[in-house]
């Protein structure tokens, strides 16, 4: 890998560090990911993995108890 030196104002770097901390990663990893996407080298599998990681703890369900529907209920005519 090649090293890259960037000049960024202090406030921007501070906010980037906070965002990275919230996401459990580093500013370096965020910049690398951004540049990879910008260059068009991210794969569909990476996008799917990122989606599942982002929604893992969402707790979304049909109702409070997480009711699942039967096929008959979904296609009741």
Q: pLDDT (tens digit, 9 = 90+) per residue, 30-76?
A: 999 888 888 876 677 777 887 778 777 666 555 556 667 778 877 87
| Residue 1 DSSP SS3 | coil
Please answer whether residues 34 and 25 qualify as being in contact, where contact means their C-beta atoms are separated by less than 8 angstroms. no
Q: What is the dihedral of CA 13, 14, 15, 19, to 10 degrees?
A: 90
Tell me how far apart the alpha carbons of residues 37 and 21 are, in angstroms, rounded to a whole number: 21
> 18: which 2 tokens?
């906070």
The pLDDT tens digits of the residues spanning 9-34 come to 999 999 999 999 999 999 999 999 88
pTM for this one?
Answer: 0.51
């Amino acid at each position: 890998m090649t090293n890259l030196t960037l000049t960024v104002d202090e406030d921007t770097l501070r906010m980037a560090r906070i965002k990275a901390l919230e996401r459990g990663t580093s500013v370096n990893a965020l910049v690398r990911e951004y540049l990879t996407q910008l260059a068009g080298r991210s794969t569909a599998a990476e996008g799917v993995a990122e989606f599942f990681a982002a929604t893992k703890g969402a707790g979304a369900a049909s109702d409070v108890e997480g009711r699942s529907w039967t096929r008959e209920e979904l296609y009741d005519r």
